[in-house]
Amino acid sequence: MPVKLIMTWNILPNHEQEYFDFLVREFVPSLNRLGFELSDAWATLYGDQPQVLISALLPNELEAETRMAKSEWLDLRDRLQQFIQNFECKLAPARQGFQF
């Protein structure tokens, strides 16, 4: 059964430009190389929720856990931490539309 990796975070104040550069040049291409199929990208404009939500589809939970245990994923996630705070991620059964 396909699963969705749901990641949320807030961008650190005064790091917006470096964050967007990293996201476009490194984070998204690296996710694609690791076999994560990006499915959603949302920004919170109002309210007390994480600023960013990004989701990726994976074939099943075992494959997701295998890819998330790779050093490339762990390094990528660590590099993202330079620009964000309150990072959270979870796996959920994939459904169409918005999932939080």
Return the DSSP state at 36.
-
pLDDT for 46: 87
Q: Which pLDDT band holds residue 94 (cuts at 50, 70, 90)?
A: confident
pLDDT digits (tens, 9 = 90+) for 50-87: 999 999 999 999 999 999 999 999 999 999 999 999 99
pLDDT for 20: 96
The residues, any chain, with a CB within 8 Å of residue 66's CB and separated by 6 or more, are none
pLDDT for 99: 58
The residues, any chain, with a CB within 8 Å of residue 60's CB and separated by 6 or more, are 1, 2, 3
Domain ranges, ordered by start, for the chain: 3-93
Q: Is 80 exceeded by the pLDDT of residue 29?
A: yes
State the fold for domain 3-93: Alpha-Beta Plaits (3.30.70)
